[in-house]
């Protein structure tokens, strides 16, 4: 028998990292593998879709709110057409001189009639029912209640049939619905994140079980919890990166196709819900979040399991 090699005390006694390829060596290939990249891809695609929808709805609501915030409508509800026209002109003359008013336009009666055509039918609607005169008012600031009340008082003497309403007030139920949809998208993203974390947790536990012998050996050779957790983090990192990239491509493709479909509707309201450059960048960050979530979940799962060992 040969003499044993006189080895230096190469093994340092302090805690040292076990990372990179040497860590990858310790678990066999496909350690967390199997369906995990696909599960993460589906989660990321659905999250991108939900986030894309939520961002588009938020943009839509913001744009509508912004356009309507400084707008108000003056209605002259007067049965006598001549008196109605006179009051409309008097109100317009008074309002245009007010410092709060940026501009106004009396809506031509034929335009109002056209707007009402779906309900009152074609022809001379005025014969069927008195149609109010409308003044489209643009204010310098938001149309708050105090300003509207002051303008109402201003025109009250010359145009007693005038009624001033903020345009945003009419759309508030729509904006509330959009806001609810936005929150629902956010809740969906939260649920997807939770489901993704649960899937990683199950996969990590499964991998821990099937690699228990290796883990115990590394543990007994002096490997610490952080080193062993790092082995699993590395495994899930690869799976999550592949799944995240695939999911991002699928999700972005779906968002883009849906955007094209809505754009084809050529509706003013829907067209306002497009995504901006910042939104696309935010969507591109979804897989990074998924990777971070997966790695952290794997780390905490493994550390929690290792704490049960001495």
Partner 1 sequence: MSAAEDEIVRFDNVGLRYGTDREILSNVSFALFPGRFYFLTGASGAGKTSLLRLLYLAQRPSRGAIRMFGTDVITLPRERLPAYRRRMGVVFQDFRLVDHLSAFDNIALPLRVSGVREADLRGPVTDMLDWVGLAHRADARPATLSGGEQQRVAIARAVIGRPDMLVADEPTGNVDPEMALKLIRLFEALNRLGTTVVVATHDVHLLRKVPDSLIMRLDKGLLSDPTGALRYPPRRVGAGE
Distance of CA 109 to the CA centre of its chain: 41
Nearest approach, Cβ of residue 232 and partner 1 (Å):
15
Q: Where does this chain bind partner 1 (CB under 8 A)?
A: 1-18, 22, 25-26, 28, 213-214, 216-225, 227, 307, 310
What distance in Å separates the CA atoms of residue 58 and residue 55, rounded to the nearest whole number? 5
Residue pair 235/285 in contact (Cβ under 8 Å)? The answer is: no
Nearest approach, Cβ of residue 205 and partner 1 (Å):
20
- Residues with Cβ within 8 Å of 303's Cβ and at least 6 positions away in sequence, in order, are 225, 226, 229
What distance in Å separates the CA atoms of residue 268 and residue 70, rounded to the nearest whole number? 18
Nearest approach, Cβ of residue 2 and partner 1 (Å):
6
CB nearer to partner 1: give 12 or 145.
12
Nearest approach, Cβ of residue 5 and partner 1 (Å):
4
CB nearer to partner 1: give 26 or 240.
26
CB nearer to partner 1: give 139 or 228.
228
Nearest approach, Cβ of residue 300 and partner 1 (Å):
16
CB nearer to partner 1: give 12 or 110.
12
Written as six digits, the tokens of 104 are 């106004």
């Amino acid at each position: 028998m040969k003499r044993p090699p006189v080895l230096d005390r190469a093994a340092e006694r302090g805690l040292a990292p076990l990372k990179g390829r040497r860590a990858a060596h310790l678990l066999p290939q496909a350690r967390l593998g199997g369906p995990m990249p696909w599960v993460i891809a589906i989660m990321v695609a659905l999250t991108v879709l939900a986030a894309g929808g939520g961002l588009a709805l938020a943009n839509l609501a913001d744009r509508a709110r912004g356009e309507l915030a400084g707008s108000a409508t003056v209605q002259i509800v007067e049965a006598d057409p001549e008196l109605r026209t006179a009051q409309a002109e008097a109100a317009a003359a008074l309002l245009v001189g007010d410092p709060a008013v940026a501009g106004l336009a009396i809506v031509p009666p034929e335009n109002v009639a056209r707007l009402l055509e779906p309900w009152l039918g074609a022809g001379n609607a005025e014969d069927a029912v008195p149609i109010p005169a409308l003044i489209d008012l643009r204010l310098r600031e938001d149309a708050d209640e105090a300003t509207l009340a002051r303008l109402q008082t201003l025109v009250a003497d010359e145009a007693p049939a005038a009624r001033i309403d903020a345009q945003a007030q009419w759309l508030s139920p729509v904006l509330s619905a959009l806001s609810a949809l936005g929150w629902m998208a956010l809740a969906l993203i939260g649920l997807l994140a939770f489901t993704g974390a649960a899937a990683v947790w199950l996969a990590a536990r499964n991998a821990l079980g099937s690699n228990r012998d290796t883990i115990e050996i590394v543990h007994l050779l002096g490997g610490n919890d952080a080193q062993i957790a790092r082995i699993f983090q590395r495994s899930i990192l690869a799976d999550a990166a592949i799944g995240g990239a695939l999911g991002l491509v699928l999700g972005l493709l779906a968002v883009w196709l849906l955007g094209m479909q809505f754009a084809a509707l050529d509706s003013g309201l829907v067209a306002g819900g497009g995504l901006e450059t910042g939104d696309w960048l935010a969507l591109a960050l979804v897989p990074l979040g998924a990777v971070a979530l997966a790695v952290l979940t794997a780390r905490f799962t493994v550390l929690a399991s290792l704490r049960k060992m001495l």
